[in-house]
Structure 1
Amino acid sequence: MVFQRDQDRLREYLRNDGQKLSVAERESLVKNYIPEDFEVPASHSRERRKPRKTPVRSFFKSQLHHFAYAFTHIIFGIVVRLLQAYHAVVDRVFAIVYHHHRTPELIRKDVRGLKRLPTHLSTILTLRKEEDSLAVLMDEVAELAAWSSCAGIPQLSIYEKTGVLKSCIPALHQIITTKLASYYGSPSQQPNLHLYAPHHPVHGPSTSDKSKSTLTILLLSSTDGRETLVDLTKTLAEMSQNGKLSPEDITPELVDAEISEITTPAGADTVLKPEPDLLLVFGPFLKLDGYPPWQIRLTEMYCTGGRSHGLNGDGEAVEYQGYMRGLWHYAGAQMRFGR
C-alpha cells in the first residue's frame, strides 16, 4: 500500500516534469516499497560479455549432419530408381506375355480365371496438349471399348474433364465401330454399340440384335458432377418452398433416383447400373479431377500408371497390361461396403 504523502510527492514530481526531486529523493521515495532481499539480476549488468568463438567440434558436427543428409538422399534416390526400373521391366514383360493381338479369344482367356468382373467399368482420361491429342484420346476410348466388350463388361463410362468428347459423339461412334471391326471382323460378330452422354440422345442403331451382346458407353465431364448436384439441390429446394414437395420426402433414395435418370439414356432396352463397380485412373497418381462424387460412393478405385511413371514416359498411356492389372485388383478386392 502506498502512503498518501508519497503519492502527493510523486504527483507533484510528475506535474513538474521531475524538476523538484533529486535522484536521492526519488530513490528514498521507492526504497520503502522494495523488498530487503531484492537483487538486481545478472542479465541487467552493464558489462557486455565478449562473443564466444565457434568451437571446432561445432563445425565438424554441422558437416556430419550435411553428410548424413546427402548420403540419405543418395541412397533413397538409388532405391527409387531401382524400383522404377524393376516395375518398368515387369510392365514390358507383361505387355509381351499378355498382349491381346486384337483377338477377343485371348482377352477372354486372360479374364477367365477371375472370380468376378465389374458390370460397370469407369475410367478417367486426360486430354493432352499435343496437336493430335483429340485423335489420341478417341483412339484410347475405342481401345477401352474393345477390351471391355471382349472381356464381357457390358457398360463402360469415360470421364474426361473438359467434355470435348461430347461434342463429337458421331465421330467417336464411328471410330469405336472401326476399332471393334478390327477385333471382331464382320459386323455380324460385333456387339451392339450404344454411345450417349447426359442430356444427349443415344447414338447407335435404332434396332438392336437380341442375339448379340450390347456395349453401352457413357461420356461424363466435370459439368455432370458438382454442377449437377447444385442444380438438383436448387430444384428440390424450390419445389419444397412452393409446397410441391415435403422436406421429409427428400431422401438419399430420391437423390439417387434423380441422378440415375440423368445418367440413364431414355428408351434404353437394358437396365443400366449408374454407379461403377471399378474406377481405373490412367495416370501417375490417383486424381479424380472433378469426377461426379455421387456415383462413386461404393466404387473400387485403382491407379494404373504410378509405378513406372517418370522413367519410360508412358505413365499416363492407356495400355492393356494396366487395364488387366485393374481387373485383377478388382477380382481380389474385399467388398466390405462399410462393414
Structure 2
Amino acid sequence: MFEQLVLRLIHCILSFGVFVKQCTSYFIHFGLVFKQKSSVDFIKADARQINKLPVHIGIVVLEEKLSYTDIANIIIWSLALGISCISVYDVNGEFKRNHAVLKEVVAKKQKEILHDESTKYSICLHTNNQTDLYLENGYSNNCKIDIQLVGPEDGRRELVRLAQNLSREVATHQRKLEDITIQHIDNILQGTNKLPDPDLIIRFGTVDSLLGFLPWQIRLTEILMHQTHDGLTYKSFISLLHSYGDTNQKFGR
C-alpha cells in the first residue's frame, strides 16, 4: 500500500514536470514567433527605448550575395520605428537596377510584418530622380518612408560630372564662380527628392570602405559596421540603432 502511494506520488511529480516543460516550451516558442513577426506595437515600444532615432539611414551592402528579403525587412522595421528615409546601395547597383523585384518583396514583407496595419503606411521608392509611389489598398496617412536606391553612378561619378559641368559653365561665362557655394551643390545633389543627408550608415560586409557611396552627403554621418545583411535579425538591427542612439556626436565649429 505504501509502495503504491509512493509510486503514484512519483508519477504525479513526473507528470507535473512534463507539463511545466511543455508550457515553458510553448511560451518560449510563442515569444520567438512574436519577436519574429515584430508587430507594430512591439516595434514602437522598442523605438521609445532608443535615445535618438536617425531620420535617414544609408544601407551599404558590400557583399557578393544580395538578399532582397533582408533589405525589405530593414525597410519595414524602419518604417514602423518612425524612420523617414533609407538609401540602399550596392557596388554594382543591382538593387537599383532590379527595383521592381525589391518593390514586390517589400510589399510582401509589409503585409507579413505590419499585418492589419499595413494599409496605414506608404512607401515611396526613388530611382534616377523618379518616384514610384505605391500604397497598400490606396490608403495613406502620415506614416511614410522614402526609399532611395543608389548605384555607383550616383556617388563619386556624379561628383565628377557635376564638377565638369560647373567648370564648363564658368569657362563659358554661363555661371559666376562666386555663385558656386556648398548650398548650391547640396541642392543639385539632392535632386528632385530633396532627401536629407544620412545620419547613419550601416555597412554590411568585411570591406573596410564605402566604395563610392554618396561621398558628399556623408560628411557628418555616423558609420556602423555589421558582418552581413544576410539573415539579419530584428534584434541585431535594434542593437545597431541603440549603438547610434548612444553615440555622442561632436560636430565642431
Normalised TM-score (structure 2): 0.78
- Shift in Å, 1:188: 5.7
Question: What CA deviation, in whole Å up to 9, does each residue of 1:287-318 have, x standing for no partner?
Answer: 3122121010000111123xxxxxxxx68653
How many residue pairs match? The answer is: 222
Match of 1:277 among 189, 194, 199: 199
- Shift in Å, 1:154: 1.4
Q: Is the 2:89–2:213 Cα contact (8 Å) retained in structure 1?
A: yes
- Shift in Å, 1:176: 0.3
* Residues 245, 220 of structure 1: alpha-carbon distance in 2 compared, 3 angstrom cutoff: same
- Shift in Å, 1:159: 0.9
The structure number with the bigger radius of gyration is 1
CA RMSD of aligned residues (A): 2.7
Match of 1:120 among 29, 38, 56: 56
- Shift in Å, 1:181: 0.4
- Shift in Å, 1:101: 2.7
Unaligned runs of 5+ in 1: 1-95, 266-270, 306-313
Match of 1:105 among 41, 45, 48: 41
- Shift in Å, 1:285: 5.8
User: SS at the partner of 1:257?
Assistant: helix
- Shift in Å, 1:320: 2.4
User: SS at the partner of 1:289?
Assistant: coil
Q: Is the 1:282–1:304 Cα contact (8 Å) retained in structure 2?
A: yes
AA in 2 matched with 1:228: E
* Residues 188, 319 of structure 1: alpha-carbon distance in 2 compared, 3 angstrom cutoff: closer
* Residues 112, 335 of structure 1: alpha-carbon distance in 2 compared, 3 angstrom cutoff: same
Question: What CA deviation, in whole Å up to 9, does each residue of 1:2-48 have, x standing for no partner?
Answer: xxxxxxxxxxxxxxxxxxxxxxxxxxxxxxxxxxxxxxxxxxxxxxx
How far apart are the structure 2 equivalents of 1:295 and 1:157? Answer: 11
Q: Report what 1:192 is aligned to.
A: 122
The structure 1 segments of at least 4 consecutive aligned residues displaced by more than 4 Å after TM superposition are: 206-210, 314-317
Match of 1:301 among 211, 219, 223: 223
Q: Report what 2:88 is aligned to.
A: 158
Moved more, 99-108 or 320-329: 99-108
How far apart are the structure 1 equivalents of 2:90 and 2:102? Answer: 14
AA in 1 matched with 2:38: R
* Residues 142, 190 of structure 1: alpha-carbon distance in 2 compared, 3 angstrom cutoff: farther
Q: Which has the higher contact order (CA 8 A, sep 6+)?
A: 2
How far apart are the structure 2 equivalents of 1:100 and 1:206? Answer: 24
How far apart are the structure 2 equivalents of 1:234 and 1:167? Answer: 26
User: SS at the partner of 1:302?
Assistant: strand
Q: Report what 2:181 is aligned to.
A: 251
AA in 1 matched with 2:103: H
Unaligned runs of 5+ in 2: 1-31
Counting only pairs closer than 5 Å after superposition, residues 161-180 of structure 1 correspond to structure 2 as 161-180=91-110
How far apart are the structure 2 equivalents of 1:332 and 1:188? Answer: 30
User: SS at the partner of 1:244?
Assistant: coil
Question: What CA deviation, in whole Å up to 9, does each residue of 1:126-179 have, x standing for no partner?
Answer: 352xxxx45xx2112211111101111111111111011222222221210110
User: SS at the partner of 1:217?
Assistant: strand
- Shift in Å, 1:281: 1.2
Q: Report what 1:330 is aligned to.
A: 244
- Shift in Å, 1:239: 0.6
Counting only pairs closer than 5 Å after superposition, residues 21-60 of structure 1 correspond to structure 2 as none
Q: Report what 1:238 is aligned to.
A: 168
Normalised TM-score (structure 1): 0.59
- Shift in Å, 1:193: 1.0
How far apart are the structure 1 equivalents of 2:241 and 2:88? Answer: 16
AA in 2 matched with 1:296: I
- Shift in Å, 1:233: 0.5
